[in-house]
Amino acid sequence: MKVDGVSYRTIWPAADGAAVEVIDQTRLPFAFVIRRLTTVAEIAAAIRTMVVRGAPLIGAAAGYGMALACQADAADTNIDRAHTTLLATRPTAVNLKWALDRMRKGIRAAPPESRRREAYRTAALICDEDVAANRAIGEHGHALIDALWTKKRRQGRLNVLTHCNAGWLATVDWGTALAPVYRAHDAGVPVHVYVDETRPRNQGARLTAWELLKHGVPHTLIADNAGGHLLQHGAVDLVLVGTDRTTGSGDVANKIGTYLKALAASDNGVPFYVAAPSSSIDFGLDDGVRQIPIEERDARELTEIEGEVATGQTAVVRLAPHGSPALNVGFDVTPARLVTALITERGVCDASRAGLARLFPEATGSGA
C-alpha cells in the first residue's frame, strides 16, 4: 500500500542483504519510521514490543528472523535456538509457529552452503504468499460486501465495524479484514468503517485510522464501548475482523473485545465475518476457549498511554490512580456459533470443521 505516494510493504530485506527493514508500528501515527533489524534478538524484541505486530506480519518477521539466524550461523543448533527464541516472543498468534516450523524444515533440508540463501528465499516466499492470500481474501470479501450493498439497494453508505488492526500493517500487504474494504472502496462501493480504538494498545486509533486515512477510505473512530449501540440502531451492515488463531472448529481468537462485538452482532442479526488466511488456522484445535493460550501483557499498557502533545512531540501520561492494580489480557475467543463465516484465501466457509474441510481437505484430514 502507499504512504504519501510511495509503495510500501511492512517488512522487506535491506538492500545490502545484511538486515531486514520494517515500519516501526510503535511510532505510528505520530511518526513514520523505518527500523533496521540485524539479529534474531532484534527481531524477537521487535515482535515482543510490537514494533511489528498482527498475526501474519509476526509470521513474516519470524521468517526473516530465521534467515538472519542462518546468516550468523547456519548450524542446526543455532537454527533450533533461533526457533525457540522467536517462538517464545508471543503466545497467541499461530502464524508464528507455522512460519518458524516451515523455515526450520526448509533450512534443515538444505546443505550447509546454501542454507542462508534457502532461508531468505523461504522468508520471501512466506511474504509473497501472505500478500497473495490477502489479495484473494480481498476478492472473496469484496463479493460479500457487494452482496450486502446490493441488498441495501446501493443507497447511502455501506457501514463496516472493525476491531483492532487487521489492515495492511498487520500483514505484509493488503491486510486481512481490511483487504475486502480496500477492494470494495477501490471498486466504487461507498464503504465507511467504524474503527474501534481498541484499548489498551489503541491499534484501531493508531494504525487502522491511519491506514484508512492514507488510503482515503471514509471512517469514524469510536470507543470500543460504542459498537453495541451502533449495531442496535442499524448503523452497521457487517462486522469484519481478523484473527490471531482460529481453531479447526471455527473458534476465533482475536484482539481482546472481539467476542463482545460478535455477541452484539448476533443479538442484532448483523453478519460477523472473520478474515482468516489458512496460516492463522490451527486445524488441530477443537475448543478455542480452552485450548488457545491467551497472552497477558504488562499492566502499564493499560495504566499509561502515549500520545502527541501540542508541540508535536509524544509523551506518556498515567491514566489511573497510583496503587490500583490492572490486568491486561491481549486476546479473547469468539465461539464459532457467533461467526457468520470465515473468509479465507480459498473462499468463504462456515466457521466449522465441515466448512473448513470443504476448502482445506488436506489440512483438516491431518489435523483431526
CA proximity to 273, closest of 286, 254, 288, 292:
254
Cα 314 to chain center, whole Å?
25
Strand (E) or helix (H) holding 56: helix 55-72
**Residue 320 C-beta: closest distance to a second copy, Å:** 5
Active site includes 298?
Answer: no
Buried b / exposed e across 115-154, counting CB within 10 Å, b at 16+?
bbebbbebbbebbebbbebbebbbebbbbbbbebbeeeee
Instruction: Kindly tell me which of 39 and 303 has the beta carbon lying closer to a second copy.
Output: 303
Out of 34, 45, 187, 315, point to the residue binding a second copy (CB under 8 A). 315
Print the binding letters for residues 217-236 with a second copy: x by CB under 8 A, - otherwise. Answer: --xxxxxxxxxxxx-xx---
For residue 70, which phi and psi values (nearest 5 degrees)?
-60, -40
Among 45-53, 277-285, 317-325, 352-360, the segment contacting a second copy (CB under 8 A): 317-325
Instruction: Kindly tell me which of 79 and 209 has the beta carbon lying closer to a second copy.
Output: 209
C-alpha cell at 181: 474494504
Instruction: Kindly tell me which of 132 and 221 has the beta carbon lying closer to a second copy.
Output: 221
**Residue 283 C-beta: closest distance to a second copy, Å:** 23
**Residue 230 C-beta: closest distance to a second copy, Å:** 8
Q: Is 2 in the site for a second copy (CB under 8 A)?
A: no
**Residue 276 C-beta: closest distance to a second copy, Å:** 20
Q: Is 70 left (phi over 0), alpha (psi -120 to 50) or beta?
A: alpha
Q: Is 50 in the site for a second copy (CB under 8 A)?
A: no
Q: What is the DSSP string of 179-212?
A: HHHHHHHHTT--EEEEEE--TTTTHIIIIIHHHH
CA atoms within 13 A on the CB side of 39: 6
* Cβ 252 vs Cβ 243: under 8 Å: yes
Distance CA 34, CA 29 (A): 13
**Residue 73 C-beta: closest distance to a second copy, Å:** 41
Q: Is 328 in the site for a second copy (CB under 8 A)?
A: yes
**Residue 150 C-beta: closest distance to a second copy, Å:** 27
Print the binding letters for residues 256-295 with a second copy: x by CB under 8 A, - otherwise. Answer: xx-xxx-xx--x---------------------x----x-
Strand (E) or helix (H) holding 273: strand 272-275
Distance CA 149, CA 154 (A): 5
Scanning residues 80 to 99, which ones bind a second copy (CB under 8 A)? Answer: none
Distance CA 356, CA 8 (A): 32
Total residues at interface with a second copy (CB under 8 A)? 66
Distance CA 18, CA 209 (A): 33
Distance CA 99, CA 47 (A): 14
Task: Select which of 173, 224, 237, 244 is catalytic.
Answer: 244
* Cβ 37 vs Cβ 20: under 8 Å: yes
Out of 3, 41, 110, 305, point to the residue binding a second copy (CB under 8 A). 305
Among 71-79, 270-278, 318-326, 353-361, the segment contacting a second copy (CB under 8 A): 318-326
Q: Is 195 in the site for a second copy (CB under 8 A)?
A: yes
Instruction: Kindly tell me which of 89 and 208 has the beta carbon lying closer to a second copy.
Output: 208
Instruction: Kindly tell me which of 111 and 312 has the beta carbon lying closer to a second copy.
Output: 312
Which amino acid, 29?
P
* Cβ 221 vs Cβ 195: under 8 Å: yes
Please give the residue ranges that form the binding site for a second copy (CB under 8 A): 29, 194-195, 197-200, 202, 205-206, 209-210, 212-213, 219-230, 232-233, 255-257, 259-261, 263-264, 267, 289, 294, 299, 302-309, 314-321, 323-329, 331-333
Catalytic residue IDs: 244
